[in-house]
Structure 1
Amino acid sequence: METNFSKDIQAGLDAARVESLRRASRLRIEADGVRYPVLRMWKTGFAMEAGSAPHLRGLVDLYDGALHLFQCLIVATDEEGGEMLFAFKRATPVASRPALDFEQAENAPAALIEYTR
């Protein structure tokens, strides 16, 4: 069953849905020192509120509250239902320590304790 609403009612429903997503989401991006709230995220991109989202393109950092999740290369793709959609060209997870440039053996000692007299 398909229901058709008037444009005013549909716009009101879209605004209520976007407001609900905005309140529930802790996600945000940071681009050039400016923070923007993210409504939702999926594997290949994310959505922001269309009214407050500029057509971002380039390198941004994605956060969940204070936790830095990804460093992303993004491009704005589409606008639908009051949301601006962005696609990831690259989304690199942020590690808590630097990458190793050597192979670490599984049975390697955790530390070296020296015997002194």
Structure 2
Amino acid sequence: MTDYLTPEIKAGLDRARELAERKSSRLRLHSGEEIYRVLRAWDGGFALDRESTPRLRGLVDLYDGSRHLSHCLIVASSEEGGELHVEYKRMTEARSTPPLDFARPDDAPAGLLPRH
């Protein structure tokens, strides 16, 4: 068997791989009312589609499907190979409850029962 691929076949395989990567990602970036699909994520940043995404700066929200993951402060972006690479300065985990300003003991009761 030969290891040689024609340039047309190689380009077609590359396009199919890129499409599969874009469809498999559930991560979404919300900036105000706009929603952008995250192609790849790594520690300190993520990649977005360059054609459908403007240059972003400031505070954005990162979602996995409908689950809110975190708030990110975007500070820099660059374009590489059809992707917009975004770097963030701060990523804060999104919480459903407000943060506590004290240490909660491990054996603390879940709630109080009323007296009858």
SS in 2 for 1:38: strand
Q: Deviations over 1:77-112 (max 9, x none)?
A: 221121110001111010121111222222222333
Residues in 2 aligned to 1:61 and 1:115: alpha-carbon distance in whole angstroms: 44
Change (3 A) 1:32 1:113: closer
Contact 2:61-2:71 at 8 Å conserved across structures? yes
The total of aligned residue pairs comes to 112
Contact 1:40-1:48 at 8 Å conserved across structures? yes
Change (3 A) 1:86 1:13: farther
Contact 1:62-1:71 at 8 Å conserved across structures? yes
Runs of 4+ in 1 over 6 A off after TM superposition: 8-13
SS in 1 for 2:79: strand
Matched, 1:28 2:28: yes
Corresponding residue number in structure 1 for 2:88 = 88
Unaligned runs of 5+ in 2: 1-5
Residues in 1 aligned to 2:24 and 2:52: alpha-carbon distance in whole angstroms: 17
Paired amino acid for 2:56: L
SS in 2 for 1:103: coil
Unaligned runs of 5+ in 1: none
Q: TM-score, structure 1 length as denominator?
A: 0.79
Overall identity of the aligned pairs, in % = 50
Contact 1:14-1:81 at 8 Å conserved across structures? no
Aligned ranges 1:1-117 → 2 under 5 Å: 15-116=15-116
Q: TM-score, structure 2 length as denominator?
A: 0.80
After TM superposition, give the deviation of residue 68 of structure 1 in Å.
0.4
What root-mean-square deviation, in Å, do the aligned CA atoms of Structure 1 and Structure 2 show?
2.5
Residues in 1 aligned to 2:108 and 2:58: alpha-carbon distance in whole angstroms: 41
